[in-house]
Amino acid sequence: MSAFANRLPEFLRTFPLPAALPGGVVAQSPFRDPAVYELLSRFCQVYYTDNRPRVALLGINPGRLGMGRTGVAFTDPAALAEPCGIENDLPRQRPELSSQFVYQVVAALGGPAEFYQHFYLGSVYSLVLVRDGLNHNYYDSPALGKALWADTRLSLLRQVQELGLRTDVAVSLGRRNGLFLQRLNDELGLFARIIVLDHPRYLMQYRRRELNANVAHYVATLGSTLDNGE
């Protein structure tokens, strides 16, 4: 089996675009952009060069300013350069809140090299969704959720099967996301259990005064998944 570093970019590059979506929502695949694909590939060649089974930490769907530009989940251009060490010329006008939180957690768990040995950051649905130029979530309307259900199932199934993720546990980043992930898991039977955490953006926007405690909770929760690890 080829290394995780080869399988992840190929999965993302080939994931199919859906048919026309309701409500003016448009799906975009940034991974078909050569510049984004190159950054993703460079990241993978540093952090995913083996076949270790990793715990999936799954957000909603990629944002246009984070993964949509860097190719790496929860990683804006600044985080990709430092602490990840993947130099890039992408603009840094607006720090991405989720990325800021996640990389505090990554630092507390030993830094990127240690963190990515054990964890895979991804999304339940693998493509960027945009409406009126703004990020949109796959569950933001019943019509959209229904239109994307088969593709969302495919996204989750392919990530588990093609990337070789751990199946004893998965982590949802976001509580509403966790409800959908549990429904998907009830249908597909991929994970023995799912842990649900508040979404990093929610914590940065609405509970920032408790930042240290929230980071510590993430660290303790993710650390607990390693007790029964490889």
Rounded percentage of the chain residues whose pLDDT exceeds 70: 98
Q: Give the domain range for residue 118.
A: 4-225
Comparing C-alpha atoms, which of 121, 107, 113, 206 is closest to residue 172?
A: 121
| Number of compact structural domains in the chain | 1
Region 10-22 average pLDDT: 95
Q: What's the mean pLDDT in 193-206? A: 97
Q: Provide mean pLDDT across the span 77-95.
A: 93
- Strands 194-197, 170-173: pairing is parallel
What integer is the mean pLDDT of 210-225? 98
What backbone torsions phi and psi does residue 173 show, to the nearest 5 degrees?
-95, 95
Q: Quick check: is 195 in a domain?
A: yes
User: Sorting pLDDT into bands at 50, 70 and 90, what band is 228?
Assistant: low
50: left (phi over 0), alpha (psi -120 to 50) or beta: beta
Measure the CA angle with vertex 192, ends 2 and 195; round to 5°: 95
pLDDT the model gives residue 95: 81
165 domain residue, yes or no: yes
Residue 138 clears pLDDT 90, i.e. is over it: yes
| For residues 11-20, average pLDDT | 95
Within-domain flag for 133: yes
Task: Kindly report the pTM of this predicted structure.
Answer: 0.95
Mean pLDDT of 13-24: 95
Buried b (16+ CB within 10 A) or exposed e, 58-94: bbbbbbbbbbbbbbbbbbbbbbbbeebebebeeeeee
Any residues with CB less than 8 A from the CB of 131 and at least 6 apart, and which?
23, 24, 25, 26
Position 93 scores a pLDDT of 73
- Decide if 184 is inside a domain: yes
Q: Are 181 and 58 in contact (CB under 8 A)?
A: yes
147 domain residue, yes or no: yes
CATH number at residue 190: 3.40.470.10
pLDDT at 73: 97
Q: Is residue 230 part of a domain?
A: no
Q: How far is CA 99 from the centre of its chain?
A: 11
Residue 22 located in a structural domain: yes
